[in-house]
């Protein structure tokens, strides 16, 4: 296949990967219509208006039914999803080992205690066995994150939750449209949180999120918590619970409506690319697309590539450098492990209080409970390749060819 580009050979790709082009004329026209209406009426656009209602209805329809509430970020989507559960202060919430900080921090801000369950070493995701090791008499909820669009093995997790009478919240920030055994991710737990930040499968502009549920009673609790406890669907004289203003807005929702129309195609294209790379690497000794649960359909927010270090004579860092030289955007580490973060280890939450761990009302001990050995091993065993739905057959084949070329050069 020729010398490696890093050694002076011809790279597999000589052209940059194409831009994603997520935002187009449809979103521009939706925004301009909203501005034109505001100018013509003399009234500014706000929130909880017709565009937001349309976006929420369209999102629920995409999910196959249920209820959706638009909020202003993915982090706040998880905050609201957890807040709507009504957990007592100092309840323990089991959280993922690998996640954005926003996938863990909301637990603190509902007055509860995050407990980190380890990963399945084959994946960035947690699993039922690791979750069960962290359950105590104080556990009330589980957050599972479907990292990179790869589903958690949900059947055992839900069986475990039923056994211990626990809530399950799905963090679907990176997994729009992914499926597990034919069902959409986000439809397994009691609630689900989605991020619509500009880098996700679809967006509502710079930031945004959705809280989703199939339970109508839960939906009204979500609505109330997301908007300072307003008495939605209740006959009450005022706000009924403490909450914050997490509302989406009409401009973001208008963009989201246009984006949702594109989402099925986006998911389909990403899945096709990921599965093509998986097939193209079948039988390779050193590299493969990372393990996924049986019956799952990833929506591939990125490509997670597993490395067999015993099959190659260089380390993962050198392998990734060689891939980048071939024109493939490879990232050596995805070490987003909240349990390693200074804020978590130092309990840097509310001043120097060490809340919630140092509070006398918490009976679980003053140090955070963390199990991340598998997560660290998974981060070391894998690397990521950036991809998006605007990659065509040439880009897809280029990824395969570069992986095969670098593997062949470095095989023992």
For 114, the token pair is 């995050």
Structure confidence at residue 1 as a pLDDT band (50, 70, 90) = low
**What's the pLDDT at 7?**
97
Query: Per-residue pLDDT tens for 155-178?
Result: 999 999 999 999 999 999 999 999
- Over residues 115-125, mean pLDDT: 97
- Report how far residue 83's alpha carbon sits from residue 74's, in angstroms, rounded to the nearest whole number: 14
Rounded distance, CA 34 to CA 49, Å?
A: 11
pTM for this predicted structure:
0.97
Beta carbons within 10 angstroms of residue 389's beta carbon: 22
- The phi and psi torsions of 288 (rounded to 5 degrees) equal -160, 160
Concatenated DSSP letters for 266-301? HHHHHHHHHHHHHHHTTT-SSEEEPP--TTEE---S
Q: What is the pLDDT of residues 267-320, one digit of tens each?
A: 999 999 999 999 999 999 999 999 999 999 999 999 999 999 999 999 999 999
pLDDT at 219 over 90: yes
Concatenating the DSSP letter of every residue in 331-355 gives: ES-----GGGSHHHHTT-SSTTS-T
Instruction: Decide if 174 contacts 199 (C-beta within 8 A).
Output: no
**Mean pLDDT for the stretch of residues 253-261:** 98
pLDDT for res 405: 98
pLDDT confidence bin for 130, thresholds 50/70/90: very high
Report the sign of the C-alpha dihedral through residues 347, 350, 355, 356, in that order. negative
Cα end-to-end distance, the chain, whole Å: 17
Q: What is residue 156's predicted lDDT score, i.e. its pLDDT?
A: 98
Per-residue pLDDT, 2: 83
Cα-based distances in Å from 395 to 48, 64, 184: 41, 32, 28
Band of the pLDDT at 387, cuts 50, 70, 90? very high
Distances (CA, A) of 396 to 94, 130, 274, 277: 37, 35, 8, 7
User: What is the rounded average pLDDT of the residues 97-111?
Assistant: 97
> How far apart, in whole angstroms, are the C-alpha atoms of residue 118 and residue 121?
8
Query: Which two structure tokens, joined as six digits, stand for 138?
Result: 């104080």
**pLDDT 10s digits, 57-76:** 999 999 999 999 999 999 99
The two structure tokens encoding residue 160 = 């475990």
Beta pairing partners, 382: 306
Q: How far is CA 375 from CA 94, 122, 153, 173, 187, in A?
A: 15, 9, 16, 19, 26
* pLDDT tens per residue across span 326-385: 999 999 999 999 999 999 999 999 999 999 999 999 999 999 999 999 999 999 999 999
């Amino acid at each position: 296949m020729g010398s490696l580009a890093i050694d002076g050979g011809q790279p597999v790709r000589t052209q940059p990967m194409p831009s994603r082009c997520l935002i187009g004329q449809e979103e521009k026209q939706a925004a301009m219509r909203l501005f034109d209406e505001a100018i013509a009426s003399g009234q500014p656009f706000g929130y909880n208006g017709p565009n937001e209602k349309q976006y929420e209805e369209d999102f629920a329809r995409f999910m196959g039914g249920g209820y959706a509430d638009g909020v202003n970020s993915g982090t706040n989507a998880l905050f609201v999803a957890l807040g709507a559960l009504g957990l007592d202060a100092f309840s323990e919430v089991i959280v993922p080992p690998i996640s954005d900080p926003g996938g863990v921090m909301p637990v603190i801000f509902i007055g509860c205690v995050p407990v980190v369950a380890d990963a399945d070493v084959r994946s960035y995701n947690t699993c039922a066995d690791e979750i069960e090791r962290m359950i105590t008499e104080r556990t009330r909820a589980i957050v599972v994150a479907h990292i990179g669009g790869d589903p958690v093995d949900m059947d055992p997790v839900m069986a475990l939750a039923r056994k211990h009478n626990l809530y399950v919240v799905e963090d679907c920030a990176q997994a729009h449209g992914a499926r597990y055994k034919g069902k959409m991710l986000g439809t397994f737990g009691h609630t689900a949180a989605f991020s619509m930040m500009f880098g996700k499968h679809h967006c509502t502009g710079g930031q945004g999120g959705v809280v989703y549920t199939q339970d109508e009673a839960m939906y009204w609790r979500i609505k109330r918590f997301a908007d300072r406890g307003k008495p939605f669907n209740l006959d009450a004289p005022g706000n009924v619970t403490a909450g914050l203003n997490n509302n989406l807005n009409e401009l973001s929702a208008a963009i989201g409506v246009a984006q949702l129309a594109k989402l099925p195609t986006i998911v389909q294209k990403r899945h096709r690319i990921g599965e093509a790379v998986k097939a193209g690497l079948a039988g390779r000794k050193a590299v493969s697309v990372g393990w996924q649960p049986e019956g799952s359909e990833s929506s591939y927010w990125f490509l997670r590539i597993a490395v067999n270090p015993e099959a190659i004579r260089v380390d993962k860092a050198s392998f990734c450098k060689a891939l980048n030289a071939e024109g493939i955007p490879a990232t050596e580490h995805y070490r987003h492990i909240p349990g390693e973060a200074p804020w978590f280890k130092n309990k840097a939450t509310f001043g120097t209080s060490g809340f919630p761990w140092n509070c006398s009302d918490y009976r679980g001990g003053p140090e955070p409970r963390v199990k991340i050995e598998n997560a660290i091993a998974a981060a070391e065993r894998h690397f990521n390749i950036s991809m998006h739905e605007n990659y065509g057959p040439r880009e897809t084949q280029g990824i395969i060819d570069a992986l095969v070329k670098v593997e062949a050069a470095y095989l023992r």
